[in-house]
């Protein structure tokens, strides 16, 4: 294929990418910079289950207006289902129903909430009824003993609640608390026990469940806390720290001991919550204008995807950025690396481990894996069993490192599981071969080169502006593709080779 054809292809890709980019900026008004000051959050609940070909109902608790959050808009997405909403006992609940359904089913609930600051909630003149838990046997004795202790060490309801939470979170609990909590209690279990103890003491208490509104997150975990009725008002308490109130950004979802959703007429119910922040109001306006002017363009854009899929592509679209940096450093600068995509995948792992921790973990795994690989060489194994053995060693090392760092209180070490284990295995194998064929110096040089490329790719991919541009304007990647195609024909000197051929270049007439 001629060089002219390559130039025409690169120019075509550049024109298409630049044209779409300018259209979205100049006509539709898409912003060039990320804004992070919007207070509108999109929350999505994805409900999946298997219907059993009989009448079916799905009940889901849904959020409502609170002192700090207002419901802007909500949608119930399903096909062939009837939907009703009702409020009861301080909760809102949506119910999907259908006469007959079979097989895998997926329902969506989407809501937009805006952070507001309203006045203090009105006082509740009549105290709510207290439903006393049914403790029996040793559990009753433990609860009564604990209530007597916290009552003696407190002056009012507030200090009583804080004393109880402090005792429940003691790393070395006494026998009474150990009995009530059981083995390895979760936060939800501590909240439940707190409610039961306070209710048994005659203090009106209720469990509250919600989520933490973050910028963009899939599979958002539920956050649990307690509310205690005191002085004609409900007061919130953090079940871990024991402080009054909850931090900003916590959205209450429902109250009580019932689960988030209930299913009748089906099985294998699963709910996944996702959150995204409307980073810039300009994007929302641009999307609305796009649906009017060029609806086809927006219907097939990334913004038409569910929030979970958008979160995935915010990361995947950064991979071509890392690949472009890799091509520049290898073909133009002359840095040697192990493999083509290993540094890019390691750079993605660095986004979770952070750069310093990532380099330490990567170096440690490769060093230990390399020593094990040299040991396996003495066993004269065939290629495939040898690679499988190295993979086993890498996985076990990752697990051991996570456990060890967790015991030391270094939670960053838990993110070692994000490293691509197959890539690490191939890196160790490749490094061993280079070590044997070309010496330790060449192997270490390529290893350091791989780490350098991964660090630089991480530094660029971690810039919020780069992430914004790749997600909002993915057509710009066509321009990078054109650049890579042109670099594919580059056959000149690499920058690191100029010193090596310096004398020959000077002698050239």
pLDDT for residue 482: 92
Residue 160 has pLDDT above 50, yes or no: yes
H/E/C letters for each residue in 214-271? CCEECCCCCEEEEEEEECCEEEEECCCCCCECCCCCEEEEEECCCCCEEEECEEEEEE
On whether both 346 and 413 belong to a single domain, the answer is: yes
Sign of CA dihedral 260, 266, 269, 275: negative
User: What's the chain's average pLDDT?
Assistant: 81
Q: Does 487 fall in a domain?
A: no
On whether both 160 and 116 belong to a single domain, the answer is: no
pLDDT for residue 497: 65
For residues 374-388, give the mean pLDDT: 82
On whether both 118 and 183 belong to a single domain, the answer is: no
Confidence of residue 36 (pLDDT cuts 50, 70, 90): very low
On whether both 250 and 389 belong to a single domain, the answer is: no
> Do residues 267 and 190 touch, judged by C-beta distance below 8 A?
no
d(CA 396, CA 399): 5
User: How many domains in the chain?
Assistant: 3
Q: Does 492 fall in a domain?
A: no
> Do residues 308 and 44 touch, judged by C-beta distance below 8 A?
yes
d(CA 98, CA 49): 14
Neighbouring CB atoms inside 10 A of 19's CB total 12
pLDDT for residue 338: 77
Q: Does 118 fall in a domain?
A: yes
pLDDT for residue 47: 94
Q: Which two tokens stand for residue 478?
A: 């066509």
Q: Could you read off the pLDDT of 298-347 as tens digits, one per residue?
A: 666 777 777 777 777 888 888 899 889 988 888 888 888 877 778 888 88
pLDDT for residue 284: 59
On whether both 263 and 348 belong to a single domain, the answer is: no
On whether both 439 and 461 belong to a single domain, the answer is: yes
pLDDT for residue 124: 61
Structure-model confidence comparison of residues 431 and 16, the more confident one: 16
Helix residue ranges per DSSP H, 354-382: 355-377
pLDDT for residue 501: 61
Stretch among 131-135, 207-211, 224-228, 448-452 having the lowest mean pLDDT:
131-135
CATH code of the domain covering residue 268: 2.60.40.2250
Residues 6+ apart with CB under 8 A from 82: 96, 97, 98
β-bridge mates for residue 225, sequence order:
208
On whether both 406 and 438 belong to a single domain, the answer is: yes
Distances (CA, A) of 1 to 212, 270, 419, 481, 482: 55, 53, 39, 18, 16
Q: Does 239 fall in a domain?
A: no
Q: Does 28 fall in a domain?
A: no
Structure-model confidence comparison of residues 120 and 452, the more confident one: 452
Q: Does 114 fall in a domain?
A: yes
Q: Does 146 fall in a domain?
A: yes
Name, of 10-19, 200-209, 220-229, 308-317, the range with top average pLDDT: 10-19
d(CA 422, CA 86): 51
On whether both 383 and 259 belong to a single domain, the answer is: no
> Do residues 496 and 335 touch, judged by C-beta distance below 8 A?
yes
d(CA 288, CA 293): 9
On whether both 453 and 397 belong to a single domain, the answer is: yes
pLDDT for residue 341: 77
Name, of 54-68, 115-129, 130-144, 239-253, the range with top average pLDDT: 54-68
On whether both 412 and 433 belong to a single domain, the answer is: yes
d(CA 240, CA 229): 19
What percentage of the chain reaches a pLDDT higher than 70?
Answer: 86
pLDDT for residue 109: 94
Residue 169 has pLDDT above 80, yes or no: yes
Give me the domain span that covers residue 52: 39-129+209-221+244-277
H/E/C letters for each residue in 432-486? HHHHHHHCHHHHHHHHHHHHHHHHHHHHHHCCHHHHHHHHHCHHHHHHHHHHHHH
Q: Does 300 fall in a domain?
A: no
Query: Is 362 in a helix, a strand, or coil?
Result: helix
On whether both 121 and 143 belong to a single domain, the answer is: no
Query: Is 154 in a helix, a strand, or coil?
Result: coil
Confidence of residue 261 (pLDDT cuts 50, 70, 90): very high
Residues 6+ apart with CB under 8 A from 310: 216, 276, 302, 303, 471
Question: For the chain, what's the residue count?
Answer: 509
Structure-model confidence comparison of residues 158 and 409, the more confident one: 158
Of all helices (H) and strands (E), which one includes residue 15?
helix 3-22
> Do residues 193 and 257 touch, judged by C-beta distance below 8 A?
no
On whether both 153 and 55 belong to a single domain, the answer is: no
Name, of 340-349, 389-398, 455-464, the range with top average pLDDT: 455-464
pLDDT for residue 92: 92
Residue 123 has pLDDT above 70, yes or no: no
Confidence of residue 503 (pLDDT cuts 50, 70, 90): low
> Do residues 413 and 421 touch, judged by C-beta distance below 8 A?
no
> Do residues 128 and 195 touch, judged by C-beta distance below 8 A?
no
């Amino acid at each position: 294929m001629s060089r002219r054809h390559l130039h025409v292809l690169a120019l075509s890709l550049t024109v298409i990418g630049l044209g779409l980019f300018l259209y979205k900026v100049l006509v539709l008004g898409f912003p060039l910079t990320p804004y992070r000051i919007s207070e509108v959050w999109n929350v999505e609940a994805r409900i999946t289950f298997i219907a059993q070909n009989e009448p079916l109902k799905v009940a889901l608790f849904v959020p409502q207006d609170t002192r700090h959050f207002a419901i802007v808009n909500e949608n119930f997405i399903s096909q062939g289902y009837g939907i009703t909403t009702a409020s009861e006992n301080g909760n809102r609940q949506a119910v999907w129903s259908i006469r007959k359904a079979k097989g895998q089913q997926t329902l969506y609930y989407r809501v937009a909430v805006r952070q507001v600051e309203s006045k203090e909630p009105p006082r509740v003149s009549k105290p709510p009824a207290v439903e006393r838990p049914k403790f029996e046997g040793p559990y009753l004795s433990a609860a009564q003993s604990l209530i007597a202790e916290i009552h003696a060490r407190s002056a009012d309801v507030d200090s009583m609640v804080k004393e109880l939470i402090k005792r429940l979170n003691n790393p070395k609990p006494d026998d009474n608390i150990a009995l009530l909590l059981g083995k390895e209690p979760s936060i939800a279990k501590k909240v439940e026990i707190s409610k039961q103890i306070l209710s048994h003491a005659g203090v009106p208490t209720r469990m509250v469940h919600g989520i933490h509104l973050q910028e963009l997150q899939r599979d958002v975990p539920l956050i649990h806390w307690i509310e205690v009725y005191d002085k004609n008002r409900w007061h919130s308490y953090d079940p871990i720290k024991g402080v009054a109130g909850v931090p900003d950004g916590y959205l209450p979802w429902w109250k009580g001991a019932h689960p988030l959703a209930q299913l009748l007429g089906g099985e294998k119910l699963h709910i996944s919550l996702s959150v995204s922040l409307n980073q810039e109001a300009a994007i929302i306006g641009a999307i609305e204008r796009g649906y009017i002017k060029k609806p086809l363009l927006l219907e097939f854009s990334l913004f038409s995807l569910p929030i979970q899929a958008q979160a995935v592509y915010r990361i995947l679209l950064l991979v071509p950025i890392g690949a472009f940096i890799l091509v520049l450093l290898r073909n133009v600068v002359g840095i040697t690396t192990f493999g083509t995509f290993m540094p890019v995948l390691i750079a993605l792992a660095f986004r979770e481990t952070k750069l310093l921790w990532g380099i330490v973990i990567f170096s440690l795994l490769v060093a230990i894996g390399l020593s094990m690989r040299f040991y396996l060489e003495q066993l004269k194994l065939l290629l495939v069993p040898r690679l499988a053995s190295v993979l086993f060693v890498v996985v076990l090392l990752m697990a051991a490192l996570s456990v060890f760092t967790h015991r030391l209180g270094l939670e960053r070490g838990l993110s070692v599981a994000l490293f691509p284990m197959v890539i690490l295995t191939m890196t160790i194998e490749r490094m061993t071969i280079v070590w044997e064929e070309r010496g330790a110096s060449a192997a270490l040089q390529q290893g350091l080169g791989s780490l350098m490329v991964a660090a630089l790719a991480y530094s660029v991919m971690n810039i919020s502006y780069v992430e914004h541009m790749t997600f909002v304007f993915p057509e710009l990647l066509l321009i990078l593709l054109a650049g890579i195609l042109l670099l594919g024909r580059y056959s000149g000197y690499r920058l690191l080779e100029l010193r090596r051929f310096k004398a020959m270049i000077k002698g050239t007439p």
